Structure 1
Amino acid sequence: MQRSPDAVMLFAAGFGTRMRELTLDKPKPMIEVSGRPLIAHALELAQTIRPARIVANLHYKPEPLKALLEPEKVLISLETPEILDTGGGLRQALPLLGDGPVFTMNTDAIWKGPNPLKLAQDAWDPDRMDALLVCVPLEHAVGRTGGGDFAADAEGRINRGGNLVFGGVQIIKTDGLHQVDEQVFSLNLLWNQMAARGRLFAMEYPGRWCDVGHPEGITLAEDLIAADDV
Structure 2
Amino acid sequence: MDAVIPAAGRGSRLGELTADRPKGLVEVAGRPLLAHVFETAVEAGADELVVIVGYEAAQIVDRFGDSFAGVPITYVHQRERLGLGHAVLQAEPHVGETFLLVNGDNVFGGSVAPVVTAVEEVDAALAVEEVSPAVAATTGVIETDEAGHVTGIVEKPADPSSTLVTTGCYVLPADVFHACALLRPSAEGEYQLSEAVGLLVRAEYEVATVRVSERVNVNTLEDVARASELVKRK
Measured against the shorter chain, the TM-score band is 0.7 to 0.9
Q: CA deviation at 1:210?
A: 1.4
Residue 137 of structure 1: which of 121, 130, 142 is its match?
A: 130
TM-superposed CA distance for 1:145, in Å, is: 5.6
Q: Name the CA distance, whole Å, in 2 between partners of 1:41 and 1:103.
A: 15
Shift of 1:176: 4.0
In structure 1, C-alpha distance between the alignment counterparts of 2:220 and 2:134, rounded to whole Å: 12
Contact 1:53–1:97 (Cα < 8 Å) also in 2 = no
Answering whether residue 134 of structure 2 is matched by residue 109 of structure 1, we say no
Q: Shift in Å at residue 212 of structure 1? A: 1.1
- Structure-2 change in CA distance of 1:182 and 1:124 (3 Å): closer
What amino acid maps onto 2:30 in structure 1? G
Indicate the SS of the match to 1:95.
Answer: helix
Residue 172 of structure 1 is matched in structure 2 by 172
2 CA distance for matches of 1:214 and 1:176? 30
Percent identity of the aligned residues?
Answer: 23
- Say what the alpha-carbon RMSD is for the aligned residues: 2.4
Q: CA deviation at 1:52?
A: 3.1
The equivalent of 2:4 in structure 1 is: 9
Q: Does residue 74 in structure 1 map to residue 80 in structure 2?
A: no
Task: Kindly state the Cα deviation for residue 151 of structure 1 after the two structures are TM-superposed.
Answer: 3.5
Match for residue 146 of structure 1?
135
1:223 paired with 2:229, answer: yes
1:162 is displaced (CA, Å) by 1.4
TM-score normalised by structure 2 residue count: 0.80
- Displacement over 4 Å in runs of 4+: 181-184
Give the C-alpha shift of residue 136 in structure 1: 1.7
Query: Residue 63 of structure 1 aligns with which residue?
Result: 58
Q: How many angstroms apart in 2 are the aligned matches of 1:67 and 1:145?
A: 39
Partner of 2:88: 90
Equivalent residues in 2 for 1:30-45 (5 A)?
30-45=25-40
Residue 23 of structure 1 deviates from its aligned partner by: 1.4
Q: TM-score, normalised by structure 1?
A: 0.81
State the one-letter code of the partner of 1:202. Answer: T
* Bigger mean CA deviation after superposition, 219-228 or 180-189: 180-189
- Mapped to 1, the partners of 2:39 and 2:168 lie a distance apart of 15
**Which blocks of at least 5 consecutive residues in structure 2 are unaligned?**
154-160, 185-189
- Give the Cα separation in 2 of the matches to 1:94 and 1:147: 30
Following superposition, the deviation at residue 175 of structure 1 comes to 1.9
Q: d(CA) in 2 for partners of 1:222 and 1:52? A: 26
